[in-house]
Copies of this chain bind each other. A is one copy, B any other.
Amino acid sequence: MEKENTYYGVKEIARRANVSIATVDRVLHNRSGVSEKTKKKINDIIKELDYQPNILASRLASKKIISLAVLLPRVSEETDFWEAPMKGVTRADSEIKKYGVQVTTFYFDLNDPATFNEQAAAILNGDFKGVLLAPSFIEESRKFIRSCREKRIPFVFIDSDLPDEDNLCYIGPHLFQSGYVGAKLSTYRLKEKHKVAVVNISKETDGYNYLQIEEGFRSYFKDHDLPIEIIRIDIKDTDSLSVTRDLTRALHKDDDIEAIFVTNSRVFSVAAFLEKSKRSDISLIGYDYLKENIAYLNTEQIDFLICHKPEEQGYRGLMALYQTLVLGAPVEKTYFMPIDIITKENQAFYQN
């Protein structure tokens, strides 16, 4: 059993062009030292044979290593959501490590924009050939990627987008549509059709992503002519006490809220509050496959979770950099993640 010899390599190209392998190699990597005439001749043969380099041999022979930086929120006691993207990053790393890629991870604190700036500066100081980041802080991220662009370092966004920036690509949810799905799920147990609340628990309550999600959420009710009042609740401090305080006040003001849609993974803190308040009449929808959230899904305090495959985002994000920088292959400008619906019944088989 012999391997088919359908592939032509540099050797065949060299033979046909009456030059040495080294010269063909120079043309392939457009290094200097080849006359225009031979260069053209070789390029023609390359095209004619539809030459595909053998990546195995190429990476084997090359000694170059490529350094990539990853800039993500640190896993905190408050939420371990970012564990998942990191898992994806690690998986990608171990796959491409043998191809000469080295990944360094930098963490920032979601409650402290200054840490983002610090880490971003560290990345700019290092000699990195590409960056993967979650642009959680809008302004800080804008500043950072401006520097990247100046240094010609390609960058990839995951989880949330920053519009109008010439990033390499965005890998994450279609935020508007995600809110739209959240709205539909919110109507699942709606009876009197009075009020629903959309809750944002985050330092950055007027960021681009949040606005997009809320817009999608509202659009669903508009599109279906549902005369429902939507209460917006912003909770700037993410600790459990603040959540309890703000929610108590909000539910006191509007006691006929029938459904709550939390725009991020902190839905478990709302679930905890509702449980303590013995409010099982309010349906609760939120985001992300976290241990805490799944627990409340199982006790039916949470009705649905929406999830955007965070692990795959990390994996694909790093792979996108690998593809452009190592393989020189083009990547899609935006890659929308599926909008997965998790219930008590199907959660056991969900792939984060």
A-to-B contact residues, CB < 8 Å = 1-4, 7, 54-57, 59-60, 63-65, 67, 98-100, 102, 173-174, 177, 180-181, 184, 188, 220, 336-341, 343, 345-346, 348-351
Asked if A1 contacts B64 (CB within 8 A), the reply is yes
- Residue in B56, B220, B339, B346 whose CB lies within 8 Å of A59: B56
Indicate whether A57 sits within 8 Å of B60 (C-beta atoms), given known contacts A2-B65, A345-B181.
Answer: yes
Count of chain copies: 2
Asked if A345 contacts B4 (CB within 8 A), the reply is no
What chain B residues lie within 8 Å of A7 (beta carbons)?
A: 98
Asked if A56 contacts B63 (CB within 8 A), the reply is no
What chain B residues lie within 8 Å of A3 (beta carbons)?
A: 63-65, 100
Cα distance A8–B38 in the bound complex, in angstroms: 41
Asked if B339 contacts A341 (CB within 8 A), the reply is no
- Select the residue from A336, A341, A349 with max chain B CB neighbours within 10 A: A349
- Residue in B100, B220, B341 whose CB lies within 8 Å of A341: B341
Asked if B346 contacts A343 (CB within 8 A), the reply is no
Asked if B54 contacts A98 (CB within 8 A), the reply is yes
In the complex, what's the smallest C-beta–C-beta distance from A127 to chain B, in angstroms?
8
Asked if A343 contacts B98 (CB within 8 A), the reply is no
Cα distance A99–B55 in the bound complex, in angstroms: 11
Indicate whether A184 sits within 8 Å of B345 (C-beta atoms), given known contacts A56-B98, A98-B56.
Answer: yes
- Residue in B56, B177, B181 whose CB lies within 8 Å of A56: B56
Cα distance A4–B102 in the bound complex, in angstroms: 9
In the complex, what's the smallest C-beta–C-beta distance from A223 to chain B, in angstroms?
10
Cα distance A220–B341 in the bound complex, in angstroms: 19
Asked if A346 contacts B181 (CB within 8 A), the reply is yes
In the complex, what's the smallest C-beta–C-beta distance from A294 to chain B, in angstroms?
14
Cα distance A349–B335 in the bound complex, in angstroms: 10
Asked if A177 contacts B63 (CB within 8 A), the reply is no
Given contacts A3-B65, A56-B98, 10 further A-B pairs with CB under 8 A are A1-B65, A2-B65, A173-B349, A174-B348, A188-B188, A337-B349, A338-B350, A339-B345, A341-B341, A341-B346
Indicate whether A338 sits within 8 Å of B343 (C-beta atoms), given known contacts A3-B100, A65-B3, A98-B55.
Answer: no
